[in-house]
Structure 1
Amino acid sequence: METLNHDQLEELISSLQMHVIGVSSKEKEKEKEKEKEKEKETERKEQVSYLFKIKEKDKMLWAFYIMLHGEDAYKYLKTKFVADKEVRIKSVEKLQKMSNVFKQHKLNRGRIEAELSSDALLTLEGFFGLCIIHNLSAIFIKKNCYCELYGVGDSDNPYLIEEGENGIGIHVFKRKELSGEMARDVRKTKWKMENVLAPIKSISSYTHSELLEIYDKVMSISKESKESKESQHVKEKKTKQYLYDYICEQFT
């Protein structure tokens, strides 16, 4: 066995020390992350409500999973792939036993079944299809617009799904009735899309005053101050086409 000289021994000790320091630093970072998560969890429990962001790619499906099984069931899932398949398969089985109630909500049963039978990301139509299958009421919010189906589930206390700049999340409430309060506020202050597939009708379906009323509701909230935003829009001549184009931009 080769004997290490003094320099080699010092180099080995230094290397081991650096390794220990590196491991220790990583462990400290992990501990800090855990502490931050605990703090966030404590803050959430103390809040009346909060927006729980969906991290997975198929955001609409996992938002629905939380509606169906709850936030804790989602957070502690060991195999999300299996849970994804279970939701899809069981929902298709239920759908096949149902009458075509999708038509009255202007949804396509065939497309919904095909979507759930594949690995495709869930669309808004597929999401509301699941709501009908499982009789759950939900409101989907995007900017200053919203979409919901009437006559499905508990519409007085619906689930609220919101899409923002940082993705999609589901509002979690400490008490169920609080979702009803937020839902009433959404219905009062935001514009209801015509339906899931066609948020707005053709321009010829509206008068200028009707478009102006919709426009006033959907002026999206941005980082600009209210004054600068107003002055920007006042400069534009609010023709029917201008109003219609601006409203359509809110759905993209």
Structure 2
Amino acid sequence: MAARPYLLPDDPGAPFPPASQALREPDGLLAVGGDLSPGRLLAAYRGGIFPWYSRDQPILWWSPDPRMVFRTDAVHLSSRLRRELRRSRWCIRADTAFDAVLAACAETPRPGQRGTWITPEMRLAYARLHRLGHAHSVEVLDGDGQLVGGIYGVAIGRMFFGESMFSAQPGGSKVALAALARQLDGWGWPLLDAQVENPHLYTLGGETWPRARFLESVEKLVGQRGRDGSWTAAFGTLQASTLTVATAC
């Protein structure tokens, strides 16, 4: 691994290197070190960069090429799941259980994955961003009000950077993603970042974009007027059964 620029934790205003300088192997590694202060994190996302590291590593900053994204008008659910949702009592809300979604994303076992990259330090950092109105969650609740799925991420301008999602019941994370995309599309937010390509995300309509195309779109969208603060009222309560209409692929 080639040496990467080292960011000092006592200088949160130090700029990141241009994302175009990220390594090809490992794909997207851009910088090491720094901190997870709100200013540092928001600067990273504005530049198409995100943190991703394990407990035994320093903070690692990434901007992979290609980048996995969703066009918010093109997230789709399988016909089987849509049939199941027609009789579902699930509903979807936003920013009513951010800490619970964050904890579930960190603690839910995932096939082929040992442990989690959402360390206690990361959880504190994103909880802080949520309190400042920059990080948001979408929660899927069953008829008894129990959390069955969710997603969280960071919003800057009219760009949403997805971080993680989970399912406590089959389809929970898919419903959270589809509901988030529908709301973002309705607000005029065209793009949802999914970071790293994943076969599962392709089945939901995910696309891979060259990093240069992604960065060009991010630069435009983060400069537009967005929605800081709680999304609870603006999002409202969405019935999962309303997601049964197929969207364009």
Q: Which has the larger radius of gyration?
A: 1
More strand by share: 2
Classify the TM-score, shorter chain.
under 0.3
